[in-house]
Structure 1
Amino acid sequence: MDLRLSGKTAVVTGGSKGIGLEIVRLLLAEGVAVVSGSRTITPELKETGAHAVTVDLSTPDGPKRLIDEAAALLGGIDILVNNVGVGDAESLVEGATNTLLTLPDSAWESAFDLHFYSALRATRAALPSLIERRGVVVNVSSIGARLVGGGPVNYNVSKVALNALTKITAEQFGSQGVRAITVSPGPVSTGVWVDDDGYIAKVARSEGISHQQFQENALNGMGVSTGRVSTPVEVAQLVVFAAAPNNITGVDYLIDGGVVKTA
Structure 2
Amino acid sequence: MDLQLSGRVAVVTGASKGIGLAVTRTLLEEGVRVVATSRRSSPALEALARADLLHVPADLMDPDAPGMVVARAAEAFGGLDILVNNAGGPPPGVTLPRGSFLDATDAEWRAMFEFNLFSAVRAVRAALPLMLERGGGAIVNVSSGNARQPSPINVDYGAAKAGMNNLTKVLSEEFGPKGVRVNTVSPGPVRTAWWTDEGGVADMIAAQAGTDRDSVMDRVAPEMMNLTTGRLADPQEVADVVALLVSPRSANTTGAEFVVDSGFLKAV
Cα contact 2:100–2:152 (8 A) shared by 1: no
How far the C-alpha of 1:196 sits from its partner, in A, is 2.6
How far the C-alpha of 1:175 sits from its partner, in A, is 1.1
2:183 matched to 1:161?
no
Amino acid at match of 2:153: G
Residues 23-65 of structure 1: CA distance to partner in whole angstroms, max 9, x if unpaired? 0000000000000111011121122122000100111111111
Of the three residues 190, 195, 198, the one matched with 1:196 is 198
Which residue matches 2:20? 20
Q: Which runs of 5+ in 2 are unaligned?
A: none
Residues 2-29 of structure 1: CA distance to partner in whole angstroms, max 9, x if unpaired? 0110111100001001110010000000
Which residue matches 1:64? 67
Amino acid at match of 1:111: M
What secondary structure sits across from 1:242 in the alignment?
helix
The percentage of counterpart residues that share the same residue type is 43
- Mean Cα displacement is larger for which, 127-136 or 25-34? 127-136
Residues 201-244 of structure 1: CA distance to partner in whole angstroms, max 9, x if unpaired? 23543x36333454433311321111011101111001101110
Q: Which runs of 5+ in 1 are unaligned?
A: none
Distance change in 2, residues 1:43/1:214 (3 Å)? closer
Which residue matches 2:184? 182
2:80 matched to 1:77?
yes
Over the residues paired in the alignment, what is the CA RMSD in angstroms? 1.6
Distance change in 2, residues 1:249/1:145 (3 Å)? same
Distance change in 2, residues 1:62/1:255 (3 Å)? same
Which residue matches 1:247? 252
Cα contact 2:13–2:85 (8 A) shared by 1: yes
Question: TM-score, length-normalised on structure 2?
Answer: 0.92
What secondary structure sits across from 2:95 in the alignment?
helix
Once residues 213 and 16 of structure 1 are traced to their aligned partners in structure 2, the CA distance between those partners, rounded to angstroms, is: 26
Once residues 152 and 184 of structure 2 are traced to their aligned partners in structure 1, the CA distance between those partners, rounded to angstroms, is: 20
Once residues 124 and 77 of structure 2 are traced to their aligned partners in structure 1, the CA distance between those partners, rounded to angstroms, is: 16
2:5 matched to 1:5?
yes
Cα contact 1:92–1:199 (8 A) shared by 2: no
How far the C-alpha of 1:262 sits from its partner, in A, is 1.7
Cα contact 1:79–1:136 (8 A) shared by 2: yes
What secondary structure sits across from 2:89 in the alignment?
coil
How far the C-alpha of 1:85 sits from its partner, in A, is 1.2
What secondary structure sits across from 1:202 in the alignment?
helix
Amino acid at match of 1:132: E
Cα contact 1:89–1:199 (8 A) shared by 2: no
2:31 matched to 1:31?
yes
Which residue matches 1:258? 263
- Mean Cα displacement is larger for which, 118-127 or 213-222? 213-222
Once residues 215 and 254 of structure 2 are traced to their aligned partners in structure 1, the CA distance between those partners, rounded to angstroms, is: 39
How far the C-alpha of 1:257 sits from its partner, in A, is 1.1
Cα contact 2:91–2:115 (8 A) shared by 1: no
Once residues 190 and 199 of structure 2 are traced to their aligned partners in structure 1, the CA distance between those partners, rounded to angstroms, is: 16
Once residues 175 and 159 of structure 2 are traced to their aligned partners in structure 1, the CA distance between those partners, rounded to angstroms, is: 25
Cα contact 2:91–2:112 (8 A) shared by 1: no
2:214 matched to 1:217?
no
Once residues 223 and 162 of structure 1 are traced to their aligned partners in structure 2, the CA distance between those partners, rounded to angstroms, is: 25
Which residue matches 2:100? 98
Amino acid at match of 2:43: P
Residues 91-112 of structure 1: CA distance to partner in whole angstroms, max 9, x if unpaired? 232x52232x342001111110
Once residues 89 and 96 of structure 1 are traced to their aligned partners in structure 2, the CA distance between those partners, rounded to angstroms, is: 15
Question: TM-score, length-normalised on structure 1?
Answer: 0.93
What secondary structure sits across from 1:137 in the alignment?
strand
Once residues 60 and 6 of structure 1 are traced to their aligned partners in structure 2, the CA distance between those partners, rounded to angstroms, is: 31
Once residues 153 and 88 of structure 1 are traced to their aligned partners in structure 2, the CA distance between those partners, rounded to angstroms, is: 14
Distance change in 2, residues 1:254/1:89 (3 Å)? farther
How far the C-alpha of 1:179 sits from its partner, in A, is 0.5
